[in-house]
Amino acid sequence: MIRMTWKGFEDKYKFEEHDGSNMVETDSSRVKEIEDKYGDNAWRYIWTWCSEGSDEYFVAGYACVNRMNYMIATVPHDLEEDESVEIVEDYDELARRPKNSSRENLDKSYYMGKIPLNISKIKLCYQYCHYAKFDLWMDNELKIVEIFAEQNIDGYAWFSLAIDGEVMETSEYKDWSPDEEDEKGEFDFDKLAKTELMGNRYLGRDTIADTVMRSCR
């Protein structure tokens, strides 16, 4: 899967706009026009928007599984069939955003104690209300892992996970929503950080265990 920012994706393929949206229905007459015009190469102008849980991605050409709508590019792609693009935030833009409730002097043992796991040996470099930075051992290398999180205008929480300055994932945090605030309380960034440290597809328990073991040596 290829990772791109939305701006980079749009700038590269220059999608058509229809009624203020890049999306067209899968049975749209415009799709038929593209197929008639380009024949066997029509799929190089078609992108399929797919959604699976909190993950959204764009498949080059036609896709049936998890399909939502199509987008039509004015610049054809040269990808292999079924290759896909995942949209992520731009790291430099994330780094420039103001952080809330600065807690640079937060006691590390207090913060890590809120995660009921034996990971207190992980180096927490510094932490803000919606930002955390960790040193983790991955593939026999020490890497910097950063978690950014914020709530959008509707109150839903989104996070981005970066490894050594590269954003690997930008997704909605599904374990909490503003609709559940009365039951679960306000958005808890500490819980999000714990969840992603232990269960993110790029990290997980093995990474945490390896980091703890190396730190104890």
Q: What is the pLDDT of residues 194-208, one digit of tens each?
A: 889 888 888 888 888
Q: Give mean pLDDT, residues 22-32.
A: 92
According to the model, what pLDDT value does residue 40 have?
Answer: 95
Q: Give mean pLDDT, residues 160-170.
A: 94
Q: What is the pLDDT of residues 66-104, one digit of tens each?
A: 899 999 999 999 999 889 999 999 999 888 876 654 444
According to the model, what pLDDT value does residue 85 have?
Answer: 95
Residue with tokens 């991955």: 138
Average pLDDT, the chain: 82
SS3 state of residue 127? strand
According to the model, what pLDDT value does residue 155 have?
Answer: 78
| Whole-prediction pTM | 0.76
CA distance 61 to 58: 9
User: pLDDT band for position 190 (50/70/90)?
Assistant: confident
- For residue 130, with 0-12 CB atoms within 10 Å meaning exposed, 13-18 middle and 19 or more buried, which class applies? buried
Q: Which residues contact 147 (CB under 8 A, 6 or more apart)?
A: 131, 132, 133, 134, 159, 160, 161, 162, 192, 193, 196
